[in-house]
A and B are shown apart, each in its own frame.
Chain A
Amino acid sequence: MEALVAVVIAVLVSCGVYLLLRARTFPVILGLTLLSYAVNLFIFVMGRLRAGAPAVIGSSETYADPIPQALVLTAIVIGFAMTAFLLVLSLRARAELGNDHVDGGAAIGEKPAKPVRPLEEDEV
C-alpha cells in the first residue's frame, strides 16, 4: 500500500511541476493545485496509513495520528485562499498587460522583455 501511495504522490508531483513550468497563468494555477494535492497527501501520510481508525475517541481501538490531519485541514483551506489569490492576480495581469503569459507577454520564440534600470545621470 505504501508503494501505491508513493506512486500516486509521485505522479501528482510530476504533473504539478510540469504544469508549473508552463508559460501561461492558467496551467500554472492548475499545476499549483495538483501540487498542493500532492503535498497535502504527503503530509497526511506522514502519520502513516491506517484504515478504519479515525481519531475520534471511542470510535475504535486504535487511532490514526491526528496531528498531520489537523495540519492538512488548515492547509487545504489556506491552499484554497492561495489559489483564489493567484487566480485574481492572473486576471489582473491579463487586464494590465493584455495577455496571460507568466512573464507579462512574450511572443513565441522571442526573449522576454527584461526591465533594465537606466543609470541615473549622476551615477556616471
Chain B
Amino acid sequence: MEILLIIALPLLGAGLPLLTERFGRNICAISAALGPALSLILILQYTPALLQHQMFFLHQPWVPQLGLDFSLRLDGLGMIFALMILVIGLLVILYARYYISSEDSLGRLYALLQLFMMAMLGIVLSDNLLLLVVFWELTSLMSFLLIGYWSHRTEARKGARMALAITGAGGLCLLAGALILGQIVGSYNLDMILNSAALIQAHWLYPVVLILILIGAFTKSAQFPFYFWLPHAMAAPTPASAYLHSATMVKAGVFLLARLYPALSGSDLWFYLVTFTGLATLVFGAYNALFKHDLKGLLAYSTISHLGLITMLFGFSSDLATIAALFHIVNHATFKASLFMAAGIIDHETGTRDMRKIFGLARFMPVTATVAMVSASAMAGVPLLNGFLSKEMFFSETLKLDQLGNFSYIFPLLATFAGIFAVAYSYRFIHDVFFNGEPNKDLPIYPPHEAPLYMILPMAVLGLLCLALGTMPNLLVSPLLHAAAYAVLGTDIPRYHLAIWHGFNLPLLMSFVALGGGLLLYYQRKGLFAFYERGYRVDQKVVFEKRIQRLVRLAQRCTDAVENGSLQRSVAVIIGATLVMAAVEFWPLGNILGEIPLTPIDGISVIMAAIIIVAAVVTVASHHNRYAALLALSAVGLVVALAFVRFSAPDLALTQISVEVITIILLMLALYFLPQLTPYESSWRRAIRDMVLAGGTGIAVGLFTLAILTRPYDTSLADFFIANSVSGGGGTNVVNVILVDFRGFDTFGEITVLAIAGLGVFLMLQGLELPVPRTDRHGRQWTRDPYPIIITVLSRMFFPLALMVSVFIFLRGHNQPGGGFIAGLITAIALILQYICSGTEWVRQRLPVDYGRMSVVGILVAVFTGMGSWLFGHPFLTTTFTHLHLPLIGDIELASAMIFDIGVYVTVVGAALLMLSQLGNLAQTIDPHTDPDFTAEST
C-alpha cells in the first residue's frame, strides 16, 4: 500500500500550494515540498531491500474486462528513476521559489509540477502496460500546461500545442503498440510481458508492435525526426524546462526502452531502428547545439543529443551498453538540470539569454560561474566528472560493434565527431557567457548580480553531485546502478567496473580527441557560424503551424460539407440518417404483422381517425396561412384527447384537453407578433425532398407501431402497479398513484423542468421589443374594444365555478381520474380566461402573485414532502396515508402523496401562468391605439 502513497502524496500535495499561496512564497514553497519529501522518505525506506534485488508489488483491479489493473511495481529501475524524479523535483521546487516573479502564480506552477511528478512516478512504477500509458498521457498533458504556463505569450502557446501534438500522437502510437502487445501476450501485466520475449519476437506482428512503441518512445525523448518540439518547449519557465524537458519527462522515452528491453530487444530490427535513430539524434543534436545563441536553445539541442546517445546505447543490445545507458541517464539528469538552473539564473539576473549579448559574467556572479563550469565540464566529458565515466563507457561500446562488418568504424567515428561538438558547445556555454570580454552595458539588467543563495543552492547541489559521482562512482552510484541493471537484465549482469582510470586505451584516446578537437572547433567558430547561417534552414514552428492550419481547413471543409449553417439541412440530414439506420435495423424483421390478430374496427374510431388525418393534412396544406393552420392543429389535439377517452385513459384525456386549450391560446398570442403568412420560398426540389423524408418517416413509424401492437408484450410491470396501487399507494387511480407515489421522483424531476421552462420564458421575454401590428393582415383595424362586456361578465361568473371544479378534480385525483397536473391546468385556464377578458392590469390588481416564485414554491413543497419521510427513517418520497370521511365529498384519503400533489398543482399553475401572463404582458406594453410611434409591421 505504501507504494501507492509514493504516487499519491504528490497528487494530494498538489492542492496545498494553491491554498497556501496567499500566506507568502516561503510557506507556499514549503507546502509544495511536503508531498514529494514524504514520498522520498518512503522510497528511501525501500532502498536497502531494493539494493538486495527485492521487488514490491501492489495489485488492485481497475477495469478487469480491459485488462487494465492498477498494478504497481517497485524494482531497481523504478527506484533509480523515482529517486531522480523526487530529488531533482525537490531542488526545482526550491529553485522555482526564487525564479518565478511575484506577478505569476507560484502556487499554480507548484501544483502542476507536483501533478507532473505524480504522473512521472506513475510511469516508472506501473506494473501494467495500459496503466503506464495512462500516466504517460498525463505527463504529456502536464508538459503542455507547463510549457503554456505563461499563456499570454504566443510562443508559449504554440510551443505547448506543438509538444502536445507530437507527444500526444506518439502516445497514441504507444497505446496501439501496447494493445497489440497485450493481445500477443494475453496480458498487460509487465511481468508476463517481460517473460514472453520469445513469444513476442516470433509473432508476425512484432515489427508493428516495435515500431509503434518506438514511435511513442522517440517522440517523448525527442529523437530525430521528432525532436523539434523540444526546442520550442523551452518557452516554459526554466524550472519546468530543467525538470521536465531535460531531467525527467524526456527520459520517459528511454525509460520505456529500458522497461521493455527484456521483451523487445535482441532482434536485428531493434538494433537498426534504435541504434541509427539514436546515432542520427546524437550527431544532429550536437551539431546544432553549437550554433544556438539562446542559452536554453543550446541546452535543448544538447539534451536532444544526449538522449540520442542513451537511445543508441540501448540499441546496441549489449549488457554493458545497457548499464552505460542507465548510468548516463543519471549523469545527464544531474549536469543538465544544473545547467538549466544556471541558464535560468543568468536570464533572471541579466534579463536575456542571448549569448551574443552576455559576456564576462564570471566577475559578477562567481559562484554561478564556478558551478556552471563544473556541470558544463561534466557535459563535455572532462575527466573526474560523471559525464566522463559514462561517455567513456559509450566510446568503448561503440568500438565493440561489428554488425556492419567493415563499416562498423562509422560508430566510433561519428561518436567522436559528436563528442567534439559536445566539447565545443559546452565550452561555448562557459566561455561566451562568463568570459569573452566585458558585459554589454545595454543588458536589460545592468549590472548583473549574483543570485540569492537559495537559488544557487539547488544548482550547486547538482554540480557537486557531478563531481562526487565522477570521483567516487563505486561508492555512490554502483549499488543503485546494479539494482537497476538487475531489473532490466535479470541475473546475468556482466562484471564491470566504474573507474576513472582504465589505462591508456582507445576510448581514452577518443575522449582526448574530443576534448582537443572541441576546443579547436570553438576557436574556429567565426567561420563555422557564418557557414551555419548560410545554410537554408526551415523554421519547424512555421512548418508545423502551416500543417496544422491546413488540417483545420480540411476539417472545416469536411464539416461544411455536412453542416452549412442551415437548420433545415441539418434536420433533414438527421432525419434521413435516422431513417436509414432504422431501416437497416428493422429489415431483418421480415413480417410486419405479428402473431396477435387485429381487433375489429368500429365506426366511431374510423370517424375520429378521419378527423385527425384530415386536420393534420389541412394543417400542413394551409401552413402558409398561419391562423388557419393553427385552427386545424387545435382540431387534431381535441380529437387526440377523444382518442385517449376511447382507449381507457381518462386522465390523459383530461390533461390533453386542458393543455390543448393553453397551447392554442399561447400560439395565438405569439402569432400576434409574428408574420401572419408564411412566404412561399421552398423550391419544388426541396419540397419533394421533404415530402419523401416526411413520408418515409411516417411510414416507418406506422409500420413500427403496427409491428409492436401485433406482438405479445410483458404485462408484469403493469400488473405490479395495478396490484399494489391500493395497498402500497392508498389510491385506486393507478395512473395518479404512479405519478405521485411509485414514480414520485420522476414527477418531481418533471415539475422542475416545467418550472425551469417557465423561468426560461420569463427571462427570454425580458427587454424584448417587438413591433406590434395595428391591423390584421387584411388591413382591418383591431377592435377598439379589447374587453367586450358580455364575455367579461361571463368569465367572472365562471371563475369560481372553474376553481371549484379544479379543487374537485384535485381531491378525487388519487382515486378517480384527476390529480395535481390536471387540477393545475384547469386553474391556469380559469385564470387565463380572466387575463383575456379583463386584462393583465385588472388581474394583477386583484391577484398580486409572482408566478415565478409560485412555481418554485410548488417545487419546494414537493421537496419538503419528500424529505418528510426522512424524519420517519424512510427513503425520500416514501408516502403514508389514512382515510378520512368528509360529508358531501365522501371518503377521501389523506396521504402524504397528496401534499406532494399540491406541490405539483402549485408548480403547474405557476409555470403556466408565468409563460402566458408574460407573453400577454408583451402585448400590453405597447398599446397600438394610444401609442402614436408604433409602426405597422410589413408582412
Contacts of B656 in A (CB 8 A): 40, 76
Contacts of A119 in B (CB 8 A): 549
In the bound complex, what is the Cα–Cα distance between A61 and B620 (angstroms)? 42
Contacts of B743 in A (CB 8 A): 70
Report whether B545 and A124 are in contact in the complex, using a CB–CB cutoff of 8 Å: yes
Q: A73-B821, A82-B757, A87-B670 are in contact. Are A8 and B747 (CB under 8 A)?
A: no
- Of residues 65 through 93 on chain A, the ones whose CB sits less than 8 Å from some CB of chain B are 65-67, 69-70, 72-74, 76-85, 87-92
Q: How far is the CB of A76 from chain B (nearest CB, A)?
A: 5
In the bound complex, what is the Cα–Cα distance between A56 and B255 (angstroms)? 72
In the bound complex, what is the Cα–Cα distance between A119 and B556 (angstroms)? 12
**Any A CB within 8 A of the CB of B623:** yes
Identify A54's interface contact among B650, B655, B709, CB under 8 A.
B650
Identify B647's interface contact among A51, A77, A90, CB under 8 A.
A51
Report whether B612 and A8 are in contact in the complex, using a CB–CB cutoff of 8 Å: yes
Report whether A66 and B735 are in contact in the complex, using a CB–CB cutoff of 8 Å: yes
Report whether B732 and A21 are in contact in the complex, using a CB–CB cutoff of 8 Å: no
Report whether B633 and A76 are in contact in the complex, using a CB–CB cutoff of 8 Å: no
- Of residues 729 through 775 on chain B, the ones whose CB sits less than 8 Å from some CB of chain A are 732-735, 738-739, 743, 746-747, 750, 753-754, 757-758, 760-761, 764-765, 768-770
**Any A CB within 8 A of the CB of B201:** no
Contacts of B650 in A (CB 8 A): 54, 56
Q: A10-B699, A23-B682, A111-B564 are in contact. Are A73 and B757 (CB under 8 A)?
A: no
Q: How far is the CB of A51 from chain B (nearest CB, A)?
A: 6
Report whether A84 and B666 are in contact in the complex, using a CB–CB cutoff of 8 Å: yes
**Smallest CB gap from B763: residue in A:** A88
Identify B564's interface contact among A41, A53, A112, CB under 8 A.
A112
- Contact string, A40-64, partner B, CB cutoff 8 A, digits 1/0? 1110111111111111111100011
Report whether B648 and A52 are in contact in the complex, using a CB–CB cutoff of 8 Å: yes
Identify B613's interface contact among A7, A22, A42, CB under 8 A.
A7
Contacts of B706 in A (CB 8 A): 2-3, 6
In the bound complex, what is the Cα–Cα distance between A46 and B708 (angstroms)? 7
Report whether A123 and B715 are in contact in the complex, using a CB–CB cutoff of 8 Å: no
In the bound complex, what is the Cα–Cα distance between A65 and B703 (angstroms)? 22
Identify B599's interface contact among A1, A14, A85, A88, CB under 8 A.
A1
**Any A CB within 8 A of the CB of B815:** yes
15 contacts between A and B (CB under 8 A): A1-B602, A2-B706, A9-B701, A14-B694, A21-B571, A24-B678, A25-B674, A27-B623, A67-B717, A77-B750, A85-B764, A87-B667, A88-B760, A91-B919, A122-B158
A-to-B contact residues, CB < 8 Å = 1-27, 29-30, 33-34, 37-38, 40-42, 44-59, 63-67, 69-70, 72-74, 76-85, 87-92, 94-95, 100, 102-103, 106, 108, 111-115, 119, 122-124
B-to-A contact residues, CB < 8 Å = 154, 157-158, 545, 549, 560, 564-568, 571-572, 575, 598-602, 605-606, 609, 612-613, 616-617, 619-620, 623, 626, 629-630, 633, 636-637, 640, 643-644, 646-652, 655-656, 659, 662-663, 666-667, 670-671, 673-675, 678-679, 681-682, 690-691, 693-695, 697-699, 701-703, 705-706, 708-710, 713, 715, 717-718, 721-722, 725-726, 732-735, 738-739, 743, 746-747, 750, 753-754, 757-758, 760-761, 764-765, 768-770, 815-817, 821, 825, 908, 911-912, 915, 919, 922
Q: Which 7 A-B pairs have the closest CB atoms?
A: A10-B702, A14-B698, A81-B757, A18-B694, A57-B732, A66-B734, A64-B648
Q: A37-B636, A48-B713, A87-B919 are in contact. List 12 more A-B contacts (CB 8 A).
A: A1-B600, A4-B609, A6-B706, A13-B702, A22-B623, A29-B667, A55-B734, A56-B650, A66-B735, A76-B659, A77-B821, A91-B674
